[in-house]
Amino acid sequence: MKMHKPCKGRLVNVVLKNAKFWNGKSFELQNEVRLNACETSETVEFDCNGALVMPALFGLGIDFMEPLRDDVYTFADGFDALRKGGFYGGLYESAANPIDDADKFTAMVNRFKSEERGEEAFDIKFLGAYSKGFGTDSLAEMVELAEAGVAGFGDGNGVIPHSRFLRLAMEYGKMTGKRFFFQPMDKTLRHSGCVHEGAYSDMLGMKGIPRIAETIAAYTVLETARFLQVPVHFKQVTCGETLELVRNARKNGIDVTCDVNLYHLLLDDSCLETLDSAYHILPPIRSAADREALWQGVVDGTVNAISVNHTPVLRQDTVVNFEDSVPGALSLEVALPAIWNKLVAKVGEARAIELLSTAPARLAGAESAGESVVVFAPEKTRKVLESDFAGHVCNSPLTGKELPSSILASYINGVWTEL
Amino acid sequence: MSALEIKHLFGLRGVSKHDIRLILDHAKQFREILERPVKKVPSLRGMTVVNLFFENSTRTRTSFELAEKRLSADTVNFASSNSSVKKGETLVDTLRNIEAMKIDIVVVRHKGTGVPKFLADNSKAIIVNAGDGAHEHPTQALLDMLTIEEKLGTLEGKNVTIIGDIRHSRVARSNLWGMSTMGAHVTLCGPSTLVPRNTELMDHVTWEPDVKKAVANADAIIALRLQKERMDDALLPSMREYRNTFGITEELLECAKDKVIIMHPGPINRGVELDSDIADGEHSVILDQVTNGVAVRMAVLFLLAGGRNNENA
């Protein structure tokens, strides 16, 4: 069992010294900046030694999996992960407990209230389900969910419903004006696949998921969205063909947005050669050519945001052979250090911050980071340890790897956390 | 030239020519021992081998068990159907419990790709892959290679054609890596729904959709077993059409060399992938394969155990 070190966040005001602050256009060296995000007399001074201070991030695709196993991963662990990773909020979608009525929505909102202050510790938005219990043929109470405040509608990851129910759900949900979020996947084409269908899966004899499982589902959604004039979002696009569908749909006036998963930008299916279940992520990590196509989509603006899809998995469900492992990866704690330098090299600092913070927040209908910031050393390398992750989990393909950058501290909604 | 470079046998991809040669040469010696009145040698006396079979197997498990007994090892059979695995025990726990009983070698068969490597990463035992998913079945390929060398003198420069369900075949994958390493040219042939869709990483072999062309220059033909599930899964229309299109028949052999040998990993679907006349005919070396299976498995166990003994010395 790993020794998890919980981060000790404190409700304070902070004075950041000797840091390069983001001024909205570039990083600017300032001797001292005071951040007073809470009503307390306590103030912490922190010498940043020239590190970057940037707006905190907003995570698309967060699920703390509670109440599946609250002895393994709790909301408190999730808060810990958010602060360690420099996230001020995120778009939450509960697979374990689908938010399919207004009471469940209220209960979930209350889970995010801070113990320190009795109010929301993070700016969390929620996706409501469009079917009762996910994946059923019964409509969720979308009108009441929208009135309660859900950001949009989604039925978890993995599949889209059959075409008739898809149409009916979107037709009914249209009354709310909310966006529908889909992770496009045709379940019959996915069949029993668990990895990208490509040269590596065929070489290793593993069951693959073809790109057309994604593109056919995406096309179905887009055509329904065109027909009904309902805004849609694609979560975790994995291949260039889907991005091409998005480009064409936009030209035809369809309101479609999309994100790509952090890990799909960092990895390709050559990692399958290790047969390591840490790489078991759904939708699957695709080929090097797909990864390049995703980066192209990031550069040309087709991709609206980079998502994190933070998914804790029980240790015993990962310490098995690849095909029998439960898919999913933690990402909040490592997202920024893992992607920042690559992202900046491709799109520059302003767009990088947009893709990780303002754009995902906008998609979820959240405010910007405000005074929540992350102190970040882009050139300070750091090896990822199991103990870096909150809770009794460590399922990340980056565990044991060296990251090119490090988070030094975060100041999230008045809580200061030094790492 | 006396020790294997590998510590475990997960598969034949990446295994050196030196190691394959060493195994085949030792297998030839064990083959001779198997012809003697007393077929037992004391090589693994005092060592314990567990046959950990999570999938049904009669031939491979029996062959391994015989090989272990011929080497004087203590053997234990563990089948998932009557084990604690059915009660929810994890793979690692199963292995660690068995390991706690002080075993030395684990022979494992499992439906999941990479299970042998996973077990090796989580154990101190020597691991031998007896088939993992559609990934590899290295001892089957080694016995195929031994049989070809025995019948044709060498693998170098020989044309070996494998026909059938290549996509789901661990036998085909191990053979295409092992035989290529040993200098044979491998041709693969099967219905388009039963061959891999992406062959970029297997471009050292020839993919031939026309079965007559595939067998034309073959020195050895390996017919793969066709699983009935392939019809249920809409990968094939019928056994009948498969037999008429890809089955090894007298008619098809008219397109092949006169001295071609016919091989099959067993068990055979007679009248489907292989006609009975061929399976029992002059070209067939199928029973030699079975005998060679014991010899090859003896060689693998002997050499891997020897490597560990040397390491400990």
Checking if the pLDDT of B88 tops 80, the result is: no
Res. B87: pLDDT tops 60: no
Percent of chain B residues past pLDDT 70, beyond the cut = 95
* Same domain assignment for residues B168 and B282: yes
Does B91 sit within 8 Å of A320, measured CB to CB?
yes
Residues 144-183 of B with CB under 8 A from A: 167-170, 173
In a domain, B7, yes or no: no
In this structure, of A96-110, B224-238, B297-311, the range with the lowest mean pLDDT score is B297-311
Average pLDDT of chain B to the nearest whole number: 92
Other C-beta atoms lying within 10 Å of the C-beta of residue B304: 22
Same domain (yes/no): B193, B299: no
- Burial of A122-148, coded b for 16+ CB within 10 Å and e otherwise, reads bbbbbbbbbbeebbeeebbbbeebbeb
Task: State the CATH architecture for A57-369.
Answer: Alpha-Beta Barrel (3.20)
Contact A46, A372 (CB under 8 A): no
Q: What is the pLDDT of residue B169?
A: 95
What average pLDDT does range B163-183 have in this prediction? 97
**pTM of the model as a whole:** 0.93
Residues B84 and B210 in one domain: no
Whole-number Å distance between alpha carbons of B109 and A404: 40
Looking at the complex, report in whole angstroms how far the Cα of residue B232 sits from the nearest Cα belonging to chain A.
Answer: 14
Distance (Å, rounded) from C-alpha B138 to C-alpha B148?
15
A283 confidence band (pLDDT: 50, 70, 90): very high
In chain B, which residues have their Cβ closer than 8 Å to the Cβ of A197? 197-198
- ipTM score for this prediction: 0.91
Q: pLDDT of B187-230, one tens digit each?
A: 999 999 999 999 999 988 999 999 999 999 999 999 999 987 77
Residues A55, B100: Cα–Cα separation, whole Å: 53
pLDDT score of A65: 84
In a domain, B100, yes or no: yes
Structure tokens at A321: 């052979």
* Structural domain containing residue B45: 17-133+292-312
| CB spacing of A199 vs B122 below 8 angstroms | no
Average pLDDT over chain A reads 93
Q: Is the pLDDT of residue A230 over 60?
A: yes
Q: Choose, out of B80, B140, B169, B201, the residue to mutate when testing the contact with A (most A CBs < 10 Å).
A: B201
Q: Average of pLDDT values for A295-317?
A: 95
**B3 belongs to a structural domain:** no
Contact assignment for A319 to B90 by CB distance below 8 Å: yes
A268 interaction partners in chain B (CB closer than 8 Å): none
Q: What is the arithmetic mean of pLDDT over B76-104?
A: 77
Contact B133 A199 (CB under 8 A): no
Q: How confident is the model at residue A12 (pLDDT cuts 50, 70, 90)?
A: confident
Residue B203 sits at the chain A interface (C-beta within 8 Å): no
Angle between helices A288-300 and A335-353 (to 10 degrees): 30
Range A96-105 average pLDDT: 91
The yes-or-no verdict on residue A7 having pLDDT over 60 is no
B4 within domain boundaries = no
Question: Do B168 and B263 belong to one domain?
Answer: yes
Q: Are residues B122 and B245 part of one domain?
A: no
Top-confidence residue, A69 or B224:
B224
Q: What percent of chain A has pLDDT over 90?
A: 81
| B183 and B39 co-located in one domain | no
pLDDT score, position A4: 46
Pair B298, B242 in one domain = no
Task: Give a yes or no: residue B2 inside a domain.
Answer: no
On chain A, the residues whose CB falls within 8 A of the CB of B176 are: none
Cβ-based contacts of B92 with chain A (< 8 Å): 319-320
Say whether both B169 and B280 belong to one domain: yes
List CB contacts of B309: < 8 A, sequence separation 6 or more. none
Structure tokens that stand for A7 in this block? 């981060």
Inform me whether the pLDDT recorded for A410 exceeds 60: yes
Which among B170, B143, B182 has a CA at the least distance from the CA of B291? B143
Average pLDDT over residues B252-280: 96
CA distance B192 to B49: 40
Could you tell me if B125 and B158 lie in one domain? no
pLDDT at B231: 72
Q: Find the residue in A nearest to B14 (Cα).
A: A273
- Tell whether the model's pLDDT for residue B238 goes beyond 80: yes
Average pLDDT rounded to a whole number, residues A110-132: 81
In the predicted structure, residue A417 carries a pLDDT above the cut 90: yes
The pLDDT, as a whole number, for residue B83 is 58
Beta strands A179-182 and A232-234 are parallel
SS3 B47: coil
Task: Measure B195 CA to nearest chain A CA, in Å.
Answer: 9
pLDDT surpassing 70 at residue B313: no
- The alpha carbon dihedral of B199, B200, B203, B206 has a sign of positive
Check CB contact under 8 Å for B117 and A199: no
pLDDT tens-digit profile of A353-388?
Answer: 999 999 999 999 999 999 999 999 999 999 999 999
Q: Is residue B147 part of a domain?
A: yes
Binary contact (B112, A205; C-beta < 8 A):
no
- Interval A263-278 mean pLDDT: 97
Chain A residue numbers with beta carbons less than 8 Å from the beta carbon of B192 are none
Residue A38: the pLDDT is 74
Whether B247 shows a pLDDT value over 80: the answer reads yes
Residue numbers in A near B111 (CB within 8 A): 323
Same domain, B204 and B62: no
For the segment B264-278, the average pLDDT, to the nearest whole number, is: 95
Q: Quick one: angle between helices B286-312 and B59-70, nearest 10?
A: 50
Residue A118, pLDDT above cutoff 60: no
Position A212 pLDDT exceeds 70: yes
Instruction: List all residues 6 or more positions away from B59 whose beta carbon is below 8 Å from its beta carbon.
Output: B266, B267, B290, B293
On whether the CB atoms of residues A231 and A255 are closer than 8 A, the answer is yes
pLDDT, one tens digit per residue, over B92-115 is 888 888 888 889 999 999 999 999
Report CB contact under 8 Å: A321, B196.
no
Q: What percent of chain B clears pLDDT 90, i.e. is strictly above it?
A: 83
Say yes or no: B114 contacts chain A, CB-CB below 8 A. Answer: yes
* Residues of chain B contacting residue A205, judged by C-beta atoms under 8 Å apart: 113, 133-136, 168-170, 173
Whether B52 and B77 share a structural domain: yes
CATH number of the domain to which B22 belongs? 3.40.50.1370
Res. B86 pLDDT band, cuts 50 70 90: low
Q: What confidence category does residue B310 fall into, taking pLDDT thresholds of 50, 70 and 90?
A: very low
pLDDT for the residue B85? 59
Q: pLDDT of B104-149, one tens digit each?
A: 999 999 999 999 999 999 889 999 999 999 999 999 999 999 999 9
The Cα–Cα gap between A90 and A367 comes to 11
- CB-closest option in B112, B134, B202 to A322: B112
Residue A1 clears pLDDT 80, i.e. is over it: no
Provide the number of structural domains found in chain B: 2
| DSSP string covering A279-296 | G--SSPP--HHHHHHHHH
CA proximity to A159, closest of A232, A52, A235, A223:
A235
Residue B307: the pLDDT is: 56
